[in-house]
């Protein structure tokens, strides 16, 4: 008798309370549905001018047509071991003086690259208005007379409509086909013409002495999430409509997996490859490779290798040059990063810089953003040429520079 | 074997004898009937209106919730005066039923809340929220009402509005009643060549107000907007105490005075 009673007691205890069972079977509380604003794509960056116009009638006119006006002012000071200038180290070339490098005006209508299957059309106009960077980027045939306007010498400051193009985006061709017609930034390399895109204030020789812009038509086809291709037909390098222009082609292939740690970009610029003696114009052929690697979310590395050549150069014949660049960037904080750059640039015949030999340049700098629209980039840099005296009859150059970019 | 069977039966007894609680529904219920509601946007000049929702839900048989949500924005146009408004009006017929024959009288409570933002830019422009009114009536006789006062800001003033009224209650018998509810949001801005920001009256959750219509440096950045609007809750319960309308507080008295 005791055995069944014990059994029944055990079974009774084993039965779950109905309340508990109900509680267990209740579905978990539904998470709060995301608001529509959370689902919406991130809005494009809005800088000071567009923020100021937001909520006004002119601002509404711009926004309702996907138009944006923005820009920045980049001012620098470079302390140097040279007396006058640091050339052939370009851009912040003036020694021990203040420079307004870029006062940049951007007016654009962006294309829509997601959320639609319809083609969209836009444009962009970038103008240095004014700045001393024009001296390096201005294209022949487009305000290039500023380079001789000061008694045969360049004006200190000038303007340069450095980029202007019409753009069409076709989202259903491949993973998206983008076509640009106009004057377009060259698509190779790590460094860029627009100051905020660069980690360091000063530029590498590989950037300074190779093409900045093309005028022509260029298509970018995204085949997969990782692979994209570019092809373009141009009037030449750093030249607009001018007697010296000649057909040039550019092409690139890029491999950049969306969540990958590595990316590779190979770019070629091919044309006549001959120095145009009659027009005194340089037509280089360029081969460029860029590799990037993300060690971790804070530490990233970029490598660039460039080879260029030109034939028929007066007094030289065949001229070629090599560049090898290494960038290592560490993000100390969201608003503070540090970058080192080690460059080897071999101007074999001296056709690019005016002095032959291997340039070695090491640069260390930080990029600090005290506010979202303010970037301060102090740096120190040492350049040395192994076989010539390019820096006011010295082989080496030490500079300590800083700039401030105010985005508006 | 018999012992085992006996044991199993004894073990199962607690489950067998556990009585299911009787299903108890509300003793009084509301049946929604005809509805006539409208949200009327009015725009002139450089304006934006958004929302315009009149949402009537019955989360329980004895409860109805009515929400009116809308936005009106008027900006500074160089040659045109701008005015924008969203005007809401609702008439909802419903029937009160007594499911339990023992219930002879029901207590109806009316509760309202109004949450939103009014913004203007220094110099000119105004934004307002008109009277928010809800009244329970039988025929032409208003039995119970709540009314939120209007607010208006101008010349750079900004205001966050969060008001609550009620619950006001009244005792009723079964039958047909109707709820009348009105609400208005509006904004205005005179023409000007100055770069003035728009005035806005925002009483609707996102995304009714496109943020590009208001200042980037708006004073209520990050405000939680999911509860914005004019919401009225009408709830009915058995009037066990037998309180008549005379004992049920000021709102009724106010209604009677009207």
pLDDT band at B166 (very low <50, low <70, confident <90, very high): confident
The alpha carbon of residue A17 is apart from the nearest alpha carbon of chain B, in Å, by 10
How many CB atoms sit inside 10 A of residue B85's CB? 22
Query: For chain B, how many structural domains are there in total?
Result: 1
Nearest residue to A382 via CA among A365, A366, A367:
A365
Tokens of B6: 């006996």
pLDDT at A212 over 90: yes
Q: Report whether B116 contacts B129 (CB < 8 A).
A: yes
Q: How far is CA A73 from the centre of its chain?
A: 17
The β-bridge partners of B199 are: B74
Cross-chain Cβ contact B212/A60 below 8 Å? yes
Q: What is the pTM of this model?
A: 0.79
Of B13, B15, B206, the CB nearest to A36: B206
DSSP tag of B124: B
Q: Mind giving me the DSSP string for A199-227?
A: SSSS--HHHHTS--EEEEEEEEEE-SSSE
pLDDT at B255 over 90: no
Contacts of A55 in chain B (CB under 8 A): 75, 121, 197-198, 212-216, 218
Of A10, A54, A56, the CB nearest to B196: A56
Residue B226 lies in a domain: yes
Q: Report whether B64 contacts B101 (CB < 8 A).
A: no
pLDDT tens digits along B24-57: 667 889 999 999 999 999 999 999 999 999 999 9
Q: Report whether A214 contacts A234 (CB < 8 A).
A: yes
Q: How far apart are CA B123 and CA B196, in angstroms?
A: 8
Q: How far apart are CA A218 and CA A185, in angstroms?
A: 11
Q: How far apart are CA A216 and CA A181, in angstroms?
A: 6
Contacts of B213 in chain A (CB under 8 A): 55, 60
H or E element that contains A396:
strand A396-407
For A60, A66, B41, B233, the CA distances from B46, given in Å and listed in that order, are 10, 18, 14, 35
Shortest CA distance from A35: residue in chain B: B206
Task: Check residue B5 and give its pLDDT.
Answer: 52
Residue B126 lies in a domain: yes
Q: How far apart are CA A211 and CA A286, in angstroms?
A: 9
Angle at A138 between CA A137 and CA A140, to 5 degrees: 130
Residue B8 lies in a domain: no
| Residue spans of alpha helices (H) in A140-214 | 205-208
pLDDT band at B23 (very low <50, low <70, confident <90, very high): very low
Contacts of B4 in chain A (CB under 8 A): 4, 7
Residue B254 lies in a domain: no
Nearest residue to B144 via CA among B177, B119, B116, B176:
B177
A68/B253: higher pLDDT: A68
Q: Report whether A250 contacts A212 (CB < 8 A).
A: no
Query: Which segments within chain B are labelled E, that is strand?
Result: 28-44, 47-60, 63-74, 82-98, 106-119, 126-129, 132-138, 141-148, 151-154, 158-172, 175-189, 199-203, 229-238
For A26, A33, A106, the CA distances from A29, given in Å and listed in that order, are 9, 11, 49
Residue B13 lies in a domain: no
Q: Is the minimum CB–CB distance between A60 and chain B shorter than 8 Å?
A: yes
Tokens of B36: 């006539």
Residue B19 lies in a domain: no
Contacts of B11 in chain A (CB under 8 A): 7-12
Task: Check residue A16 and give its pLDDT.
Answer: 39
Contacts of B78 in chain A (CB under 8 A): 57
Q: Is A291 left (phi over 0), alpha (psi -120 to 50) or beta?
A: beta
For the segment A284-288, the average pLDDT, to the nearest whole number, is: 96
pLDDT band at B7 (very low <50, low <70, confident <90, very high): low
Q: Is the minimum CB–CB distance between A8 and chain B shorter than 8 Å?
A: yes
3-state secondary structure of B44: strand
pLDDT tens digits along B210-229: 989 999 998 999 899 999 99
The average confidence (pLDDT) of chain A is 89
H or E element that contains A236:
strand A227-237
Of A8, A51, A63, the CB nearest to B10: A8
Q: How far is CA B155 from the centre of its chain?
A: 29
Cross-chain Cβ contact A56/B4 below 8 Å? no
Residue B12 lies in a domain: no
The average confidence (pLDDT) of chain B is 85
Residue B47 lies in a domain: yes
pLDDT tens digits along A295-318: 999 999 999 999 999 999 999 999
Of B4, B14, B213, the CB nearest to A4: B4
pLDDT at A337 over 90: yes
pLDDT at A244 over 50: yes
Q: How far apart are CA A276 and CA B217, in angstroms?
A: 56
ipTM above 0.95, yes or no: no
The alpha carbon of residue B27 is apart from the nearest alpha carbon of chain A, in Å, by 25
Of B6, B207, B214, the CB nearest to A36: B207
pLDDT tens digits along A59-113: 999 999 999 999 999 999 999 999 988 999 999 999 999 999 999 999 999 999 9
> How does A111-137 read in b/e, with b if 16+ C-beta sit within 10 Å?
beeeeeeeebebbbbbbbbbbbbbbbb
Q: How far apart are CA B195 and CA A404, in angstroms?
A: 29
pLDDT tens digits along B169-206: 998 888 999 999 999 999 999 999 988 999 999 999 99
Angle at A248 between CA A247 and CA A254, to 5 degrees: 155
Rg (C-alpha) for chain B, rounded Å, is 25
How many CB atoms sit inside 10 A of residue A394's CB? 13
Q: Report whether A365 contacts A34 (CB < 8 A).
A: no
The alpha carbon of residue A352 is apart from the nearest alpha carbon of chain B, in Å, by 48
The alpha carbon of residue A128 is apart from the nearest alpha carbon of chain B, in Å, by 27
Chain B residues bordering chain A (beta-carbon distance below 8 Å) = 3-4, 6-8, 10-15, 18, 46, 75-78, 121, 195-198, 205-207, 211-218, 226
Contacts of A8 in chain B (CB under 8 A): 7-8, 10-11, 13
pLDDT tens digits along B93-146: 999 988 888 888 889 999 999 999 999 998 789 999 988 999 999 988 889 999
For the segment A260-286, the average pLDDT, to the nearest whole number, is: 94
Task: Check residue A192 and give its pLDDT.
Answer: 95
Q: Is the minimum CB–CB distance between A59 and chain B shorter than 8 Å?
A: yes
Q: Is the minimum CB–CB distance between A242 and chain B shorter than 8 Å?
A: no
For the segment A239-264, the average pLDDT, to the nearest whole number, is: 94
Shortest CA distance from B226: residue in chain A: A35
Q: Report whether B195 contacts A53 (CB < 8 A).
A: yes
Q: How far apart are CA A174 and CA A223, in angstroms?
A: 5
Task: Check residue A14 and give its pLDDT.
Answer: 41
**Sequence-separated (6 or more) residues with CB below 8 Å from residue B151:** B118, B128, B129, B159, B161
Task: Check residue A200 and give its pLDDT.
Answer: 97
The overall longest dimension of chain A from CA atoms, in Å, is 122
B69: containing domain = 33-244
A36/A100: higher pLDDT: A100
pLDDT at B20 over 70: no
Cross-chain Cβ contact B75/A60 below 8 Å? yes
Task: Check residue B4 and give its pLDDT.
Answer: 57
Q: How far apart are CA B4 and CA B52, in angstroms?
A: 70
């Amino acid at each position: 008798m005791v055995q069944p009673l014990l059994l029944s007691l055990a079974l009774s205890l084993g039965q779950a309370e109905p309340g508990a069972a109900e509680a267990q079977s209740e579905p978990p509380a539904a998470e709060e549905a995301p608001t529509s604003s959370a689902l919406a794509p991130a809005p494009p960056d809005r800088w000071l001018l567009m923020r100021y116009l937001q909520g006004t009638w002119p601002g509404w006119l711009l926004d309702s047509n996907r138009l944006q006006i923005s820009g920045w002012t980049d001012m620098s000071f470079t302390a140097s071991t040279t007396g006058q200038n640091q050339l052939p180290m370009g851009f912040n070339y003036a020694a021990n003086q203040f420079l307004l490098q870029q006062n940049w005006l951007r007016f654009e209508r962006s294309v829509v690259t997601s959320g639609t299957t319809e083609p969209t059309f836009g444009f962009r106009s970038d103008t240095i208005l004014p700045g001393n960077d024009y001296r390096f980027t201005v294209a022949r045939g487009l305000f290039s007379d500023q380079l001789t306007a000061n008694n045969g010498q360049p004006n200190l400051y000038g303007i340069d409509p450095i980029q202007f193009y019409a753009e069409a985006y076709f989202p259903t061709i491949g993973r998206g086909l983008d076509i640009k017609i106009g004057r377009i930034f060259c698509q190779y390399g790590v460094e860029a013409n627009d100051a905020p895109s660069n980690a360091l204030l000063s530029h590498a020789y590989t950037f300074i002495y190779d093409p900045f812009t093309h005028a022509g038509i260029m298509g970018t086809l995204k085949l997969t999430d990782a692979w994209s291709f570019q092809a373009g037909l141009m009037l030449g390098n750093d030249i607009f409509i001018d007697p010296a222009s000649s057909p040039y082609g550019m092409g690139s292939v890029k491999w950049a997996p969306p969540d990958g740690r590595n990316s590779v970009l190979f770019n070629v610029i091919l044309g006549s490859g001959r120095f145009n003696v009659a027009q005194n114009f340089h037509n280089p052929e360029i081969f460029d490779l860029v590799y990037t690697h993300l060690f971790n979310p804070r530490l990233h590395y970029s490598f660039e290798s460039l080879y260029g050549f030109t034939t028929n150069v007066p007094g030289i014949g065949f001229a070629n040059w090599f560049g090898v660049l290494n960038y290592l960037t560490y993000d100390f904080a969201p608003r503070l990063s540090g970058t080192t750059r080690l460059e080897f640039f071999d101007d074999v015949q001296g056709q690019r810089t005016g002095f032959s030999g291997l340039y070695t340049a090491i640069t260390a700098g930080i990029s600090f953003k005290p506010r979202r629209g303010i970037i301060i980039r102090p740096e120190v840099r040492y350049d040395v040429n192994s076989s010539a005296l390019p820096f006011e009859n010295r082989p080496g150059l030490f500079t300590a520079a800083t700039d401030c970019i105010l985005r508006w | 074997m018999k012992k085992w069977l006996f044991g199993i039966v004894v073990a199962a007894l607690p489950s067998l004898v556990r009585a299911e609680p009787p299903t108890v529904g509300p003793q009084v219920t509301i049946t929604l009937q005809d509805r006539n509601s409208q949200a009327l946007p009015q725009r002139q000049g450089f304006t934006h209106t958004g929302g315009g929702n009149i949402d009537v839900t019955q989360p329980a048989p004895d409860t109805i919730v009515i929400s009116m949500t809308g936005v009106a924005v008027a900006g500074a146009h160089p040659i045109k005066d701008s005015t924008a408004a969203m005007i809401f009006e609702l008439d909802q017929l419903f029937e009160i039923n007594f499911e339990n024959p023992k219930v002879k009288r029901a207590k109806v409570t009316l509760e309202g809340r109004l949450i939103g933002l009014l913004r203007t830019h220094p110099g000119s422009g105004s934004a307002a929220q008109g009277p928010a009114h809800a009244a329970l009536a039988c025929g032409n006789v208003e039995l119970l009402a709540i009314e939120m006062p209007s607010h208006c800001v101008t010349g750079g003033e900004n205001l966050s509005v969060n008001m609550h009224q009620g619950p006001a209650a009244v005792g009723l018998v079964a039958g047909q009643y109707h709820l009348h509810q009105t609400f208005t949001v509006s904004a205005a801005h005179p023409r000007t060549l100055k770069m003035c920001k728009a005035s806005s009256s925002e009483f609707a959750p996102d995304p009714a107000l496109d943020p590009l219509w208001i200042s980037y440096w708006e004073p209520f950045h990050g405000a939680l907007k999911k509860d914005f609007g004019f919401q009225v809750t009408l709830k009915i319960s058995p009037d066990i105490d037998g309180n008549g309308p005379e004992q049920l507080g000021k709102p009724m008295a106010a209604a009677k005075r009207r």
